[in-house]
Amino acid sequence: MDSHNEHVLLVENDPHISELISKQALEPLGYQVDVYESASALLQVIQDLSPDVIITSLNLPGLNGKDLLIALKAEGIEAPIVVTANKGQEADVLHAIRLGAVDYISYPIRETEVINVIEDVLNKQQLKHQVEVYSVNLDQTRSAMEHQLADFSQIFSFTRLALSTKNLQMLNDKITSLAMLVTEADCAWLLTSETNQKAFILQSCQNAPENITSNLHLPYADEISSLAAASGQVVRLHGESLSRFSGFESFGALLAVPVMHDDKVESIITVVRAANVPFNNSHQAMLELVVSVASSALENCQRFHQLERSLTVLQQSFVYTTIESNIKSDLLRQASLEIRSPLKNMMENVDVLLEKGELKLNQEQAIALDDLQEDAEILMDIADSMINSRQVEPMRLVELDLNEVVRTTTNRFKPIAQLGKITINVDSPAEPVYLKVFPSQITKVIEGLLSNALKYSPPSGEINIQISQTETATSLTVSDQGNGIDEQAVEWLFQQKSNIFGYSANRFGGIGISLPMIKEIITTYKGNIWVEPLQEKGFKITFSLPR
């Protein structure tokens, strides 16, 4: 079993129970456990602590467990909270979960249940953190793409302006404005060379200091412009390396891009920032694009149309910014493939140990080997699911056979079902049932429903999948024989923070999307999804899509 060093806060007034949870269950595994005998004692110091998980009894004297949940929420404490309760307190447990508890442990306290619940809560917390990180990265990428797309739109607007106007000064001012926009600079200026002369004329400037603007439409030269003109290369400087040049002591960063024609520098676009924040490769690429457009616009229509084609290619290349996301997906796939080999070896070695009857193993060792074998099989399933979940397909509406999608999905989940001796039954029409959908999305819906059913089905249970069709709608139902669900809590099941009401999963059920995500997909297709508790045990989830 893995060693832990997470910080656990335990609020329990019964010394015997606190001893069992802290000393016997958690601390031997490396958890750091601090025990508090009352809710008020914890609230006095909670702001100075950073717990990974909090365990509290619902039956505390004075402020009880539910009062503590409310107080912790008011204090802004985000650590997951597990409650302990007597059998028969199901209503109190459900109330606690609605107040923010993520799971519960029932009396009498058992070490194994304590360990399983805490490890499950911490694993979910870690996955939640990973999802939040991925979400932030995705939002940042989307924001950058939207910003870059806006820049492209501005550049294409400039090309239309260049075709329709004969006002050269307007074009020059637009060039400097674009240069500032795409590089997020504080000021910019444009120099162009005089015919048959070595001097450069300051044709336009935006937000530039007085010592520069005073030279507008006059010959202008500085050390960096001279360097760019002589070398024909981009100059990118910041900080101390920039302050060494005369006239640039007050600037923090600079980017100067020469405009070339027939191996000769015809103009130079310079952008600067007051702060010492360097321009990056993306800024340089966008400024070079502005330079290319400016060169074309200021030369002639023939060159302009040639550049227009170049801009079209560059706009198309915008799609390739998604390569960064694909690289991450590929790395995840490669990582899953790398995991498989050592896992396979580990599983084979465990099989060898279990098959050698001459080995004298005590009961604890035999159980440990069995657990190790089961965990290795789960990790292998996770590795396979990582590969399947990252497969990318074109996003287009396709008419597909729902029967075939269900058959393919259930075949992929059967090895996981066999570990728990669970039977998956499919009842579908003999004729194909066609839907016009995004294949990956409807597949993820079915995977999510099946994964959820596998997690909470009892050993040797059954999962039934039924596909039906009317003149107006196509329906799919997944039913299991799990713990069932309170009718009053059905609506809460589809909220983002739902957790099957604190029930611990019986097993790994494969990687599937959450019920709230499933509902979002179904409602996007203008469909409906609902849950119905079964009379004996378990419940069924049905979604219906319009034909």
Q: What mean pLDDT, rounded, does the chain reach?
A: 78
Q: What is the mean pLDDT of residues 150-172?
A: 63
CA distance 483 to 192: 77
- Residue range(s) occupied by CATH 3.40.50.2300 in the chain: 7-128
In the predicted model, is pLDDT for residue 510 greater than 70? no
Instruction: In the chain, list all ranges with CATH 3.30.565.10.
Output: 393-547
Q: Note the pLDDT tens digit of each residue in 375-421.
A: 666 666 666 666 655 454 555 778 889 999 999 999 988 888 888 88
Residue recorded with tokens 């839907």 = 435
Rounded mean pLDDT, 101-106: 89
Looking at residue 226, what is its pLDDT? 85
pLDDT confidence bin for 474, thresholds 50/70/90: very high
Q: Grade residue 545 by pLDDT with cuts at 50, 70 and 90.
A: very high
pLDDT tens digits for range 429-469: 999 999 988 888 888 899 889 988 888 888 888 999 999 99
User: How far is 365 from 80, CA to CA, in rounded Å?
Assistant: 33
In this predicted structure, which of 163-167, 239-243, 375-379, 499-503 has the lowest mean pLDDT? 499-503
Q: Is the pLDDT of residue 132 over 80?
A: no
**Please, what CATH class does the domain formed by 165-299 belong to?**
alpha beta
Long-range CB contacts (within 8 A, 24+) of 227-232: 228/256, 228/257, 228/258, 228/265, 228/268, 229/193, 229/200, 229/258, 229/265, 229/268, 232/258, 232/260, 232/263, 232/265
User: Is the pTM here over 0.85, yes or no?
Assistant: no
Q: 455: number of CA atoms within 13 Å, CB side?
A: 19
Under CATH, what is the fold of the domain 393-547? Heat Shock Protein 90 (3.30.565)
pLDDT attached to residue 196: 56
Give the pLDDT of residue 523: 87
pLDDT at 327 over 50: no
For the chain, give every residue range classified as CATH 3.30.450.40.
Answer: 165-299
| Distance of alpha carbon 15 from the chain centroid | 43
The dihedral region occupied by 500, where left means phi > 0, alpha psi between -120 and 50, and beta the remainder, is: left
Residue (of 180, 175, 21) closest to 105 by Cα position: 21
Give the pLDDT band of residue 268 (cuts 50, 70, 90): confident
Mean pLDDT of 159-180: 70
Q: Residue 317: pLDDT above 50?
A: no
Structure confidence by residue, pLDDT tens digits, 335-346: 565 666 676 777
Q: Is the pLDDT of residue 492 over 90?
A: no
CATH code of 7-128, in short, is: 3.40.50.2300
Residue 321, pLDDT score: 37
